[in-house]
Amino acid sequence: MASPNDDSKIVNYLVRMVVPLRREFGQHLDVQHFLHDLDYAQDVLKKALASQDARLREYGEYVSKLRLGPRLGQPNEAPVAMPKTSSKTTSSASAQAASASPAQGTSTSELSEEELRARIMKKYTSGLR
């Protein structure tokens, strides 16, 4: 079963799928049943993927990747792991980002994720209040 965070994403997309499924196939989508019954979920996703509506197909693909991806051998995007930083690390990173100003000529595509995050955090930690 998917993690609780993935379940909230799945529910969000399932709610978006309710009306298009009813319009095109005349099928009522029971979200709780979908989350707990694998056969029902596969049937709903099969219909969504065969839909004429592009949005419904996209929703179906997204939900199938989140819900059914790893167990059925379908490709699933690897989750991006965010580095865990303490407040001390963030403040030192913001100091480094302050020293690495745009005057050095570095483009944003060359900067690491931590440096970009430090620049964003610097906006909130310095300046007039």
Same domain, 59 and 36: yes
Residue 108 lies in domain: 87-125
Task: Judge contact between 64 and 53, C-beta under 8 A.
Answer: no
Same domain, 58 and 33: yes
Same domain, 62 and 13: yes
Rg (CA), the chain: 22
Same domain, 63 and 107: no
Q: What is the pLDDT of residues 86-121, one digit of tens each?
A: 544 545 554 554 555 454 555 556 778 888 888 888
Structure tokens at 125: 């930690």
User: pTM of the entire structure?
Assistant: 0.49
Going from the C-alpha of 47 to that of each of 29, 57, 80, 119, the distances in angstroms are: 11, 9, 30, 46
Q: Is residue 65 part of a domain?
A: yes
Same domain, 53 and 95: no
Helix spans in 30-128 (H): 31-36, 38-49, 54-67, 69-72, 87-99, 113-125
Q: What is the pLDDT of residues 56-93, one digit of tens each?
A: 999 999 988 887 655 444 444 444 444 555 544 545 55
Number of domains within the chain: 2
Q: Is residue 81 part of a domain?
A: no
